[in-house]
């Protein structure tokens, strides 16, 4: 695994239309993304003028305080710059994070997905809440956790730091540090490559605020036939109006 690029932004401007710029590395790569309108709702699926986005699990993944996160995936059809757009039902801020994987199955990349959500505030989190662990059905899957949380509602401000508490790697933010996000509708992405078939998986992490509730998905992304290495890059953009 190698991170090519990642960064974060914060913009408190509210609206119903929300856009982010992203340039995939190559055609055929797999894009996985989360979107958080806080306590609001998205209407429809993301669009970018090129790729077809589909839901990961059943959206939205809810949690404490009527907080929502939406998760989607797409196969990149090229390496041109994209403008990823979503619409919220009312005027508000919305945030997102995205990770790009290469060397994955170009036809059926999503091997398994399980949603998680927390019904109370805590500073230790697990994707096994409440639906249990994820089980892969092919060898060599990459595991990706997409998570957003209520930290913007529950903390007094300041940077939120996320720390993996098992063997996953936390994707870097724009400053190049791992798992540290600016105030906004916050979230994180974790990554674990090349896992065995039939094993039961979960991702766990902690955070530096007193308590918050998290929600999202753990996804197993199948390898291309014949194997091969995986390269991953991530982009985290927070609080975009």
Give a yes or no: residue 52 inside a domain.
yes
In a domain, 201, yes or no: yes
55-105 per-position pLDDT tens digit: 999 999 976 778 889 999 999 999 999 999 999 999 988 888 888 899 899
Give the span between the Cα atoms of 157 and 186, in whole angstroms.
11
**Does 10 fall in a domain?**
no
Residue 152: C-alpha distances to residues 38, 99, 156, 186, 199 (Å): 9, 22, 8, 7, 35
Residue 128 lies in a domain: yes
- What is the per-residue pLDDT across 19-55, written as a single tens digit (0 to 9) for each? 888 888 889 999 999 888 888 899 999 999 999 999 9
Tell whether 185 is covered by a domain. Answer: yes
Domain for residue 4, yes or no?
no
Whether the pTM exceeds 0.75: the reply is: yes
92 is in which domain, residue-wise? 15-240
CA distance 52 to 76: 9
In a domain, 134, yes or no: yes
Q: How many structural domains is the chain composed of?
A: 1
Residue 8 inside a domain? The answer is no
């Amino acid at each position: 695994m190698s991170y090519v690029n990642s960064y974060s932004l914060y913009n408190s401007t509210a609206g119903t239309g929300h856009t982010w710029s992203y340039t995939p590395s190559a055609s055929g790569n797999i894009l996985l993304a989360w979107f958080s309108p806080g306590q609001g709702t998205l209407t429809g699926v993301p669009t970018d003028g090129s790729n077809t986005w589909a839901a990961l699990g059943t959206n939205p993944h809810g949690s404490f305080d009527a907080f929502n996160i939406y998760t989607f995936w797409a196969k990149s059809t090229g390496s041109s710059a994209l403008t990823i757009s979503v619409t919220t039902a009312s005027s508000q801020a919305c945030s997102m994070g995205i990770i790009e994987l290469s060397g994955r199955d170009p036809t059926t990349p999503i091997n398994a997905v399980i949603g998680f959500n927390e019904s109370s505030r805590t500073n230790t989190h697990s994707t096994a809440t409440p639906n249990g662990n994820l089980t892969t059905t092919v060898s060599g899957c990459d595991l990706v956790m997409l998570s957003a949380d209520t930290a913007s509602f529950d903390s007094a401000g300041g940077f939120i730091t996320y720390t993996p508490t098992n063997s996953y790697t936390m994707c870097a933010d724009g400053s190049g540090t791992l798992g540290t996000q600016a105030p906004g509708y916050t979230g994180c992405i974790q990554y674990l490559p090349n896992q065995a078939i039939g094993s039961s998986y979960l991702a766990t992490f902690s955070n530096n605020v007193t308590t918050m509730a998290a929600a999202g998905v753990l996804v197993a992304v199948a390898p291309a036939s014949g194997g091969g290495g995986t390269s991953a890059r991530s982009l985290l953009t927070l609080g975009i109006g």
